[in-house]
């Protein structure tokens, strides 16, 4: 379906058992990373901030990739994030319309980079959720909640169907209409 840059992983880990604590509490995190190694690293980063445990005295029990349940259904995703700008940390809530959560998260990273010049490592995803259409806040997602949606494609870019046919000069002017 999609070649996503960001994969969603479920990482489960706990502190190592000691004599004082035979069965330490197990924690699970769902996070986004480009690969499994990074996912585990991110897991420890967040867990360190929440609990008194580090990678050196902890263990990852399981790491699984989470795939989209219904990749053919269009959903409205709400993403809550915390990002670092040049002047400080800010929280944000963004909405995206996509078929998969990974796609929406990728959109989010691209948008943050373009609109706010925030790079990937400065963004922390706090929460993501599928939002029913009634509860969407942003006009740009709400405008697509129309069952009789209809609009023309105003500007048609003429594109060679495969790269072999791509040339610098063409014999005739392109027809940009329709």
Burial class (CB in 10 A: 0-12, 13-18, 19+), 107: middle
CA atoms within 13 A of residue 119's CA, in its CB half-sphere: 2
Stretch that binds other proteins, among 23-31, 35-43, 44-52, 141-149 (CB under 8 A): 141-149
β-bridge pairing 89-98 and 26-33:
unpaired
Q: For residue 158, what is the DSSP state? A: P
By CB under 8 A, residue 167 contacts other proteins: no
Lateral strand order in the sheet of 123-131: 89-98, 75-84, 123-131
By CB under 8 A, residue 165 contacts other proteins: no
- How many positions of this chain bind other proteins (CB under 8 A)? 28
Q: For residue 104, what is the DSSP state? A: H
Among 31, 97, 123, 125, binds other proteins (CB under 8 A): 97
Among 80, 99, 120, 122, binds other proteins (CB under 8 A): 99
Cβ nearer to other proteins, comparing 42 with 71: 71
Among 78, 98, 101, 131, binds other proteins (CB under 8 A): 98
Among 162, 164, 168, 171, binds other proteins (CB under 8 A): 162
Q: 62 - beta bridge partners?
A: 12
Q: Site residues (CB under 8 A) for other proteins?
A: 1, 72-74, 97-99, 140-141, 143-144, 146-157, 159, 161-162, 177-178
């Amino acid at each position: 379906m999609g070649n996503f840059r960001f994969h969603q992983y479920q990482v489960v880990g706990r502190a190592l058992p000691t004599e004082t604590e035979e069965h330490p509490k197990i924690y699970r995190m769902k996070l986004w990373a480009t690969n499994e190694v990074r996912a585990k690293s991110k897991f420890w980063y967040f867990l360190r901030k929440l609990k008194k445990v580090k990678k050196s005295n902890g263990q990852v029990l399981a790491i699984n990739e989470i795939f989209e349940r219904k990749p053919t259904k269009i959903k409205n995703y709400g993403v809550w994030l915390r990002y670092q700008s040049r002047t400080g940390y800010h929280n944000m809530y963004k909405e995206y319309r996509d078929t998969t959560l990974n796609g929406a998260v990728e959109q989010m990273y691209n948008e943050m980079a373009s609109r706010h010049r925030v790079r990937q490592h400065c963004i922390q995803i706090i929460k993501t959720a599928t939002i029913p259409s009634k509860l969407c806040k942003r006009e740009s997602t709400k405008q697509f909640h129309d069952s009789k949606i209809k609009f023309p494609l105003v500007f048609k870019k003429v594109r060679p169907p495969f790269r072999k046919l791509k040339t610098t000069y063409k014999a005739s002017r392109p027809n940009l209409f329709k």
